[in-house]
Structure 1
């Protein structure tokens, strides 16, 4: 008990000993909105040479640390490198998974022809990495192959290992699984008489299950989850995880990313299979990078923008390769991607890889009707932040509140204050116009519960400007 307008947490009303008693009330101290630092979680395969056990999350701060934790050339190592290159100040947590027991490693070959009739160089591209071998006039094909194998052995960060038999160099993915099929190979020879015929990486099968890793971090509170694989099985597992942690009971809003270097048709088909407002896929056709590297770099750039409503158009993803002219999507293809749940990347001025417009894979409602409610990934990020701001304000102001006839008005006042502050930062708008729709009332069935309806008009991104120029003579 206390006076009508003042309540105490620590000073009892039954005191009889004379004195002057004061307590501190910190419930009104915070009047601002919460910060929005973005924590990224990346899942990747590890090698036995790594020191970090599988299914144990660890914070990663550098490329070299990732190499030690997960093994050089592991997918987890490559993902960490891509993420930190794109955003050196990233809050990155990684969790490793082992190869599937039934997995099969992808293989490819480089067959050398000779002998060389002039000096030159044979260059083999493994993904975006180049391995050079000097060739002397008169070198036999087997000699060049042996030298190439030795050069590959020195490149310990590559996602492949090499073996040689006569003039054939066989490359084997360090990890088992279908992801190894995505390792790009290309060979170029400047030595006359020397040829290098490449057989692409293939026959990798059975990627590991992501569900155990996701279950291990369900309480981690990460804001962006990076999928190492771009297939329906992996992304469905990520979608289920995101829907659970972001739901109204857990309330730890998060989004997921994947990378897609393949065709537009296959990419939009995959996006349609996922159809989630919380998953966004970066399309970088013809990239020499693995999908996991594209996804990690994309996620790192998303995390760099703490304003949830601000568009991500034109942001550069550092570290991604500049694709050839024939692989760069046309305007029509970009429009098609944006209508079908795929985020296109493009090569901007200065050969910088940039985001065209970051959208989610959500294109249709449960009835199969076209729905743009969650088109831009900024929309769900904004809703997550608004929920967080409202939730934290109520938790701070009313940690031990009684529910009386006066309580709904007090709660409504705090919620309205949060909305006005969000409007000041241009995260929501039209608060005054919609404030009559802000309702806080007692529940009809539970005497200890308050219900609220909070109208939120999120601020949209300025993506399109159209002007008409009238000629006057």
Structure 2
């Protein structure tokens, strides 16, 4: 017991010994909004050479550390490298999984002829360029052996290469379908010598990330990078995100995938997922793997801590510049944005940048077009508002009794948070909507107060339309 307006946590009312007793109350100390550091979690396959155990999360700070932990050229190593390149200050955790019991993808580079002059044989393995000098008189078999040796000397390239006569066979490090996405492009400037490639194919089976995601469900990451861009894998991720972000767990998170394929297949995939917490970056004909595009995109998303601020024009440093004929035109970008796919474009200075970051959610459960969660900023803002209100209430009412005065105090603290959010232009129209902020005792549970919080999120300025009147 205490006086009507003053309560104590540590000084009992039953003491009899004379004295002056003071305790410290820190519940009112914090009057600001919480920080919004974005923590990224990456999932990916590791190689046997990696020292980190599978399904064991680890904080990663550098490219070289990732190579040691997961193996040079492993899927997870490539993802970490792409992410850190795009955002060197990233708060990154990675969790690996072993290869599935499938087959490895393989492809070939076939050389023919004999060089009648000097030149260079260039092979692109994904976004990795390998050059081999060719001298006049070199046979196809000689150059093939040199090419295999040059690729082997680059452990960060995710294939092994072996030459038999004039044919170099490239085999993905990993089992699974991820190797099927590795592109091969070859050219030769030496006269008399030609190079023909057959891109990698034949990889089968994918890891099941269900158990891995369950193992890190309590960690509270804000952005999770999908290693593979398939309906099966993204559905698993969507289920995980809905669970950890729901009203009971309240660890709001966003899932990210990359798509280097066609517009039609990308929008089909987005429609199959239709999730307000999943966003996919479309970079058509990129030499980068889908996991690398996803990693860079996630790193850029994490660089913006203001949940309401649009990500338009932000650059994905390290992404390859696609050829002009593969860059989406305006109508294709509009199609992507209307069907749940975030287009990337080549901006001034050959910078790969975000057009507009959207989620894959386009239709409600009835199949009706729904734009409520179109922009990534909307769900990120809602997550932050929930975090701000929840933390304020937790600080102010850690051991509160429930009396007739309690709902009013809860409503007051909630409004204070909303007004502070309005000052930062995260929500708006708080004064106009304050009558809708309700705190009332539950009709069934005597220990419960229910809150209703209108949340008018601040939208991004994406379009400015003007009319120019000609005056003569």
Shorter-chain TM-score category?
over 0.9
Q: For 1:2-26, what per-residue CA distance to the aligned partner results, in whole angstroms no more than 9, with x for missing partners?
A: 0000000000111111111000000
Report the CA distance between 1:212 and its aligned residue: 1.6
Separation in structure 2 between the aligned mates of residue 125 and residue 57 of structure 1, nearest angstrom: 32
Report the CA distance between 1:245 and its aligned residue: 0.4
3-state SS of paired residue (1:360): coil
Separation in structure 2 between the aligned mates of residue 64 and residue 16 of structure 1, nearest angstrom: 66
3-state SS of paired residue (1:458): coil
Report the CA distance between 1:385 and its aligned residue: 0.2
Does the alignment pair 1:21 with 2:21? yes
3-state SS of paired residue (1:429): coil
Q: For 1:60-108, what per-residue CA distance to the aligned partner results, in whole angstroms no more than 9, with x for missing partners?
A: 000000000000000000000000000000000000011112x111010
Report the CA distance between 1:205 and its aligned residue: 1.0
Q: For 1:107-164, what per-residue CA distance to the aligned partner results, in whole angstroms no more than 9, with x for missing partners?
A: 1000001200001110100011111111110111000000101111101100111011
Partner in structure 2 of residue 188 of structure 1: 187
3-state SS of paired residue (2:269): helix
3-state SS of paired residue (1:281): strand
Separation in structure 2 between the aligned mates of residue 21 and residue 215 of structure 1, nearest angstrom: 48
Separation in structure 2 between the aligned mates of residue 273 and residue 78 of structure 1, nearest angstrom: 27
1:201-240 equivalences under 5 Å are 201-240=200-239
Separation in structure 2 between the aligned mates of residue 112 and residue 304 of structure 1, nearest angstrom: 45
3-state SS of paired residue (1:187): strand
Partner in structure 2 of residue 96 of structure 1: 96
Separation in structure 1 between the aligned mates of residue 189 and residue 83 of structure 2, nearest angstrom: 34
- TM-score normalised per structure 1: 0.99
Partner in structure 2 of residue 75 of structure 1: 75
How many residue pairs match? The answer is 472
Partner in structure 2 of residue 440 of structure 1: 439
Separation in structure 2 between the aligned mates of residue 212 and residue 169 of structure 1, nearest angstrom: 38
Partner in structure 2 of residue 325 of structure 1: 324
Which sections of structure 2, spanning at least 5 residues, go unmatched? none
Separation in structure 1 between the aligned mates of residue 415 and residue 214 of structure 2, nearest angstrom: 37
Which sections of structure 1, spanning at least 5 residues, go unmatched? none
1:29-428 equivalences under 5 Å are 29-101=29-101, 103-428=102-427
Report the CA distance between 1:215 and its aligned residue: 1.0
Superposition RMSD in Å: 0.5
Separation in structure 2 between the aligned mates of residue 114 and residue 65 of structure 1, nearest angstrom: 43
Separation in structure 2 between the aligned mates of residue 204 and residue 406 of structure 1, nearest angstrom: 65
Q: For 1:387-428, what per-residue CA distance to the aligned partner results, in whole angstroms no more than 9, with x for missing partners?
A: 000000000000000000000000000000000000000000
Q: For 1:267-288, what per-residue CA distance to the aligned partner results, in whole angstroms no more than 9, with x for missing partners?
A: 0000000000000000000100
3-state SS of paired residue (2:6): coil
Separation in structure 2 between the aligned mates of residue 297 and residue 247 of structure 1, nearest angstrom: 27
Q: For 1:326-364, what per-residue CA distance to the aligned partner results, in whole angstroms no more than 9, with x for missing partners?
A: 110000000000000000000000000000000000000
Separation in structure 2 between the aligned mates of residue 30 and residue 430 of structure 1, nearest angstrom: 24
Report the CA distance between 1:207 and its aligned residue: 1.3
Report the CA distance between 1:242 and its aligned residue: 0.4
Separation in structure 2 between the aligned mates of residue 384 and residue 17 of structure 1, nearest angstrom: 50
Separation in structure 1 between the aligned mates of residue 78 and residue 199 of structure 2, nearest angstrom: 20
Partner in structure 2 of residue 5 of structure 1: 5
Separation in structure 1 between the aligned mates of residue 178 and residue 208 of structure 2, nearest angstrom: 13
Report the CA distance between 1:367 and its aligned residue: 0.4
Q: For 1:205-259, what per-residue CA distance to the aligned partner results, in whole angstroms no more than 9, with x for missing partners?
A: 1011111210110011000000000000000010011000000000000000000
- TM-score normalised per structure 2: 1.00
Separation in structure 2 between the aligned mates of residue 17 and residue 115 of structure 1, nearest angstrom: 104
Q: For 1:363-396, what per-residue CA distance to the aligned partner results, in whole angstroms no more than 9, with x for missing partners?
A: 0000000000000011000000000000000000
Partner in structure 2 of residue 454 of structure 1: 453
3-state SS of paired residue (1:228): coil
Separation in structure 2 between the aligned mates of residue 376 and residue 176 of structure 1, nearest angstrom: 36
3-state SS of paired residue (2:399): coil
Separation in structure 1 between the aligned mates of residue 12 and residue 151 of structure 2, nearest angstrom: 76
Separation in structure 2 between the aligned mates of residue 43 and residue 114 of structure 1, nearest angstrom: 44
Separation in structure 1 between the aligned mates of residue 88 and residue 144 of structure 2, nearest angstrom: 38
